[in-house]
Amino acid sequence: MEALSKTSPIKSVNPFNNEIVATFEVMTDEQVDSKIGLADTAFQSWRKTPKAERAQLLRRVAHLLRVRGPQLEALATLEMGKLLKESRAEVELCAAIFDYYADNGEKFLADQPLDTPLGSAFLSYEPIGVLLSIQPWNFPFYQITRSAAPHLMAGNTMLLKHASNVPQCAQLMEDIFLEAGFPAGVYQNLFIPGSKIDRLIADKRIKAVTLTGSEPAGSSVAAAAGKYIKKSTLELGGSDAFVVLDDADVEQAAEAAVRGRIWNAGQVCVSPKRVIVEEGIADAFLEKVKTKFAALKVGDPTDEQTDLAPLSSEKAVADVIKQVQQAVEQGATVLAGGHRIDRPGAFMEPTILADIQPGTAAYEEEIFGPVFMFYRVKNEQEAIALANATDFGLGGSVFSSDDQRAVNVARQIDTGMVYINHVTGIAPELPFGGTKHSGYGREQSPAAIYEFVNTKLIRVTTAENAY
């Protein structure tokens, strides 16, 4: 969480040239309290709003996202540096998620009859109140969407504490909700530092909290939520295994690995970070990866021909460089890259690390940048053991020409998601979330809408038939 002082302004900095483009004043405690009160008041009427009306407002948000797409795309690229074409895909994904819950929300929230031999019974899904959503910068609109769309559809209201380096994106989303016709207070943005979060969680008017972020941030939020007996969901870091079996299409696997790792300049929780290849094809795979890395075009993220964008900030690139240097000091070998690129902006060379030993920092930690950790293994069982040799368990991939073999391997990897012959992906109808230190709870799919509802049993029977 950001360590901002009480009076430090929130700054929007373009990582392509490190220029400050906007500043926002931190909200006072009184302003925040007022917003919590408005959210709580709005909940009392929003919860009673017919689901069909909620769905219509979600559709309106999806429409506005598409209409204002160029503005949103440009702003995401300006504030956190991602390729414009990636920002474009992100905005369309957000629109699709809002449409998904608009189209399916009523069905998901319908009463569910239960079989019982005496009388009748059903489950009623009812909203719980004001939710606090704490989101990171790497997908400034998508991170908002995957928490807001299902939970607003369910009848909850929401307060967003977004990452402090994407304040314009945060404000624009609130503007879009209001433009779409959402009642005041149903969705609000908070300009506050991370140091204020515990105070929010303690507030009785806030009923639950959802966070996407780092492992330390998740631990802090979970502890605070537990202290006040509030539900939480966490999507934390990942050190995803990208397993390439010896019968895989080497060209296909190498292309997917490279594209997956440079996606968002490597700043994706589910990008392939630990590349695990059976030794029979390891050399061929590695040579293809090196060739593809060398051919990448680095530069202006607004240029449609650019492949690798800057990292999100000077601190981000400095942190990744430090991790690579520490890995080398602890015995790892740099097979490609490893340095900052000598040009303005927060750019880093795509990097391959090998010879990483258990117990070292690189073996244990997530590297949030364009860095492969390459492992050569003797066989399938060794690949599975290495894939599981991490505290994280978010996503993962298995590449093989035999789908059934790949599925059998996937079943043995302890993680929340495994994709066969594809990097871990995103779709509105597919659940997203992890296990172990990667967190708990699910976003997207039908599962998400049930995270913050009261699943209430209602039973109809007679006194003589009760039990």
Catalytic residue of the set 79, 269, 278, 365: 269
Which residue bears the tokens 């006072």? 28
Catalytic residue of the set 73, 235, 365, 443: 235
Alpha-carbon distance values, 455 to 154, 430, 458 (Å): 12, 22, 10
Q: How far apart are CA 229 and CA 30, in angstroms?
A: 25
3-state helix/strand/coil string of the chain: CCCCCCCCCEEEEECCCCEEEEEECCCCHHHHHHHHHHHHHHHHHHCCCCHHHHHHHHHHHHHHHHHCHHHHHHHHHHHHCCCHHHHHHHHHHHHHHHHHHHHHHHHHHCCEEECCCCCEEEEEEEECCEEEEECCCCCCCHHHHHHHHHHHHCCCEEEEECCCCCHHHHHHHHHHHHHHCCCCCCEEEECCCHHHHHHHHHCCCEEEEEEECCHHHHHHHHHHHHHCCCEEEEECCCCCEEEECCCCCHHHHHHHHHHHHHHHHHCCCCCCCEEEEEHHHHHHHHHHHHHHHHCCCECCCCCCCCCECCCCCHHHHHHHHHHHHHHHHCCCEEEECCCECCCCCCCECCEEEECCCCCCHHHHCCCCCCEEEEEEECCHHHHHHHHCCCCCCCCEEEECCCHHHHHHHHHCCCCCCCEECCCCCCCCCCCECCCHHHEECCECHHHHHCCCEEEEEEEECCHHHCC
Residue 298 phi/psi, 5-degree rounding, is -105, 135
237-270 burial, b for 16+ CB within 10 Å, e for fewer?
bbbbbbbbbbebebeebbebbbebbbbbbbbbbb
Calculate the CA 320 to chain-centre distance: 19
What residue type is 335 in one-letter code? L
Q: How far apart are CA 335 and CA 447, in angstroms?
A: 42
Residue 16 near residue 306, CB atoms below 8 Å? no
Residue 235 annotated among the catalytic residues of the structure: yes
Q: How far apart are CA 149 and CA 129, in angstroms?
A: 15
Active site residues: 235, 269
